[in-house]
Amino acid sequence: MSAGAPIYLDCHATTPVDPRVLAAMLPYFTDVFGNAASTGHPFGHAAHAAVTRARAAIAAALHAEPDEIVFTSGATESDNLAIKGVAFQHASGHVITAATEHKAVLDPCRMLAAHGYRVTVLPVDGEGRLDLDDLARAFAPDTLLVSVMHANNEIGTVHDIAAIAALCRERGVLCHTDATQTIGRLPFDVGALGVDLASFTGHKMYGPKGAGGLYVRRGCSLLPLFEGGGHERGLRSGTLNVPGIVGLAEALTLAVAEMPQDAAHTRQLRDRLWTALREAVPAVRLTGVDPALDPDHRLPNNLHVTLDDADGDRIAPALADVACSTRSACTSGASGPSHVLEALGRPEGGTTLRFGVGRFTTGDDIARIAAGLLESTRA
């Protein structure tokens, strides 16, 4: 690849903070620095007002009510609060999830299993889709919760969450979705989807790290994970991260307003990258749903592929300055094959690459990569 600045294509792991988001946050580090719980003086009142505005903005973006938004440190905490918060209100019970879930869902489910709860982990097909008939058969009289992610963080497969939530509602079972990869990237209407709980985080949508939230439908009761101050209606004690919350709201507001443009932009560049990879390595294999056949069930910015070792070695120089991932960033340090690929019946072998195209990716970036790939085929 021709010389130039490194190219960032790992937007499923994290995204850069949009300059407009940073500008919105900056006053809350210095000028408006009060504790949002200290409303007895102007400093705290101003911080509380900022949180109130942010909560309302996030609720509007999700078609929720402001009191249904609980602020957390990010999606991992939100997943834990949703899953454990539902389960721990019962001495025992049954939870259903899917084999391709993020570890932030699978690990809490394993912990529940270790404490006597029953957990069903449903398989997926070769494209990462959940069979709704499998889900229907899995329900039991003591099923408390179904937790299925909206879109997979590795292969980009989008689940039919509305259909999953409908099955839950028919049986009086709560439905949680980890929407980390979709809120801010795809339309997300809590009412239309019918979910009871939804996790999200700022840093996947050009907002700050360390700020996230959990949508909790009115009437849905959770046991808090920890005590200490009664913040967030007693569901999440701890001093609120006011700059992060302001940034989260600004990032989501911008993402919703610019979603059609962002989706079209990332989809076009993703498809150009896929074309360049196929021209360089005809034997490259796509993982997940084929976007040409079913674009609605794959994230518009996601590309996950597998090459054999020889082809991987051959094109490695072309990707030397490209930041991408073969695994979820949250598990990149772990040994062993990807649990997602194993669930698809495709144990990790050869070279696997996950690309996450972003708002700030340019056509020139993809052109540089394509030129480098073409050069690698001539070497």
The residues near 107 (Cβ < 8 Å, ≥ 6 apart) are none
**What is the residue whose two structure tokens read 């069930």?**
297
By three-state DSSP, how is residue 175 classified? strand
The confidence band for 288, taking pLDDT boundaries of 50, 70 and 90, is very high
pLDDT at 30 (0 to 100): 96
pLDDT at 376 (0 to 100): 82
pLDDT at 167 (0 to 100): 98
**What is the biggest distance separating any 2 CA atoms in the chain, rounded to whole angstroms?**
70
Hey, which residues are catalytic here?
A: 330
pLDDT at 377 (0 to 100): 75
What pLDDT digit, counting tens, does each position of 221-243 carry? 999 998 887 888 879 989 999 99
pLDDT at 229 (0 to 100): 79
pLDDT (mean) for 180-193: 98
E strands, 232-327, in order: 285-286, 302-307, 322-323
By three-state DSSP, how is residue 130 classified? strand
pLDDT at 330 (0 to 100): 55
Examine the pLDDT at 107 and tell me if it is beyond 70. yes
Which of 162-166, 175-179, 341-345 has the least mean pLDDT? 341-345
As a whole number of angstroms, the distance between CA 154 and CA 338 comes to 9
Q: Is 61 in contact with 251 (CB distance < 8 Å)?
A: no
Report the predicted TM-score, pTM, of the whole model to 2 decimal places.
0.95
pLDDT at 112 (0 to 100): 98
Examine the pLDDT at 329 and tell me if it is beyond 50. no
Examine the pLDDT at 328 and tell me if it is beyond 70. no
CA 128, 133, 136, 140 torsion-angle sign: negative
What pLDDT digit, counting tens, does each position of 124-146 carry? 999 999 999 999 999 999 999 99
pLDDT at 141 (0 to 100): 98
As a whole number of angstroms, the distance between CA 196 and CA 108 comes to 18
The CA-based angle 320-338-148, given to 5 degrees, is: 120
CATH numbers and ranges of domains, the chain: 7-17+259-378 (3.90.1150.10), 19-257 (3.40.640.10)
Residue scoring higher pLDDT (227 or 161): 161
List the strands of the sheet with 69-72, edge to edge. 69-72, 212-216, 197-201, 174-178, 143-147, 94-98, 118-122
Tokens of 244: 């992060």
Examine the pLDDT at 201 and tell me if it is beyond 70. yes
Examine the pLDDT at 334 and tell me if it is beyond 60. no
Tokens of 205: 């949508």
Single-letter amino acid, residue 15: T
What pLDDT digit, counting tens, does each position of 47-99 carry? 999 999 999 999 999 999 999 999 999 999 999 999 999 999 999 999 999 99
As a whole number of angstroms, the distance between CA 279 and CA 97 comes to 38
Single-letter amino acid, residue 309: D
Examine the pLDDT at 280 and tell me if it is beyond 90. yes
Number of H helices, E strands in the chain: 13, 12
Examine the pLDDT at 183 and tell me if it is beyond 70. yes
As a whole number of angstroms, the distance between CA 29 and CA 51 comes to 14
DSSP H or E run through 272: helix 259-280
Top-ranked range on mean pLDDT: pick from 34-38, 62-66, 337-341, 370-374: 62-66
What pLDDT digit, counting tens, does each position of 253-271 carry? 999 999 999 999 999 999 9
Instruction: Please classify residue 76 by burial: count the beta carbons closer than 10 Å to its beta carbon, then call 0-12 exposed, 13-18 middle and 19+ buried.
Output: buried
Examine the pLDDT at 346 and tell me if it is beyond 90. no
What pLDDT digit, counting tens, does each position of 203-222 carry? 999 999 999 999 999 999 99
